[in-house]
Amino acid sequence: MDPVSLTAAILSVTFNCAKATIGVHNLIRTYEDVPSLLSAVCTDCSLISLTLSRLEMLLLQEDEYASARFADQSVVETIAKALKECEVTLSELDSKATKIMEGIVEEGVKRVWKKVRFMWEESDMEGLSNRLRYHQISLSSLLQVFQSFW
């Protein structure tokens, strides 16, 4: 994968990360008694976004080490795979948050929190949170490997 394609993939994941964060943050603002796990999900998304920004900056940097960073295609392909997996998780998170917010508009605020708990069970939230944390750790580790080519 070339630098332009990898940068495009990073931008796509960053966009989905921001979209998912906004969706979850809207749920937090709408209800006072949401599980604290939703705040953790927002934090994980923010950390992923920061890691992606740093990775993008390295990709776009023109210096004598630019070709060395792409010499080891296994690192580049691993980053691409991690980005794809992260994007799938973020899309799932955004989809769940969007469905819940649509329920708010359709049914009104009174009945919605009961629907939220039904649609987004605690185990689902924990699973998404764990996957996001895994992606954040993976991307941070890959960033460190990529930075080692300086």
pLDDT single digits (tens) 64-99? 766 776 777 888 889 899 999 999 999 999 888 887
Q: Is this model's pTM higher than 0.85 or not?
A: no
| Distances 92 to 4, 19, 56, 59 between C-alpha atoms, Å | 26, 11, 23, 27
131-142 pLDDT per residue, tens: 999 999 999 998
DSSP 71-130: T-HHHHHHHHHHHHHHHHHHHHHHHHHHHHHHHHHHH-HHHHHHHHHHHS-HHHHHHHHH
The confidence score (pLDDT) of residue 19 equals 92
Phi, psi of 17 (to 5 degrees): -65, -45
pLDDT class of 51 with cuts at 50, 70, 90: very high
CA distances from 132 to 12, 42, 60, 113, 123 (A): 16, 10, 25, 24, 14
d(CA 20, CA 23): 5
Count of helices and strands (H, E) across the chain: 6, 0
> Which residue in the block uniquely carries the two structure tokens 């394609």?
5
Nearest residue to 45 (alpha-carbon basis) of 26, 18, 25:
18
70 vs 77: CA distance, rounded Å: 10
- 42-59: average pLDDT: 91
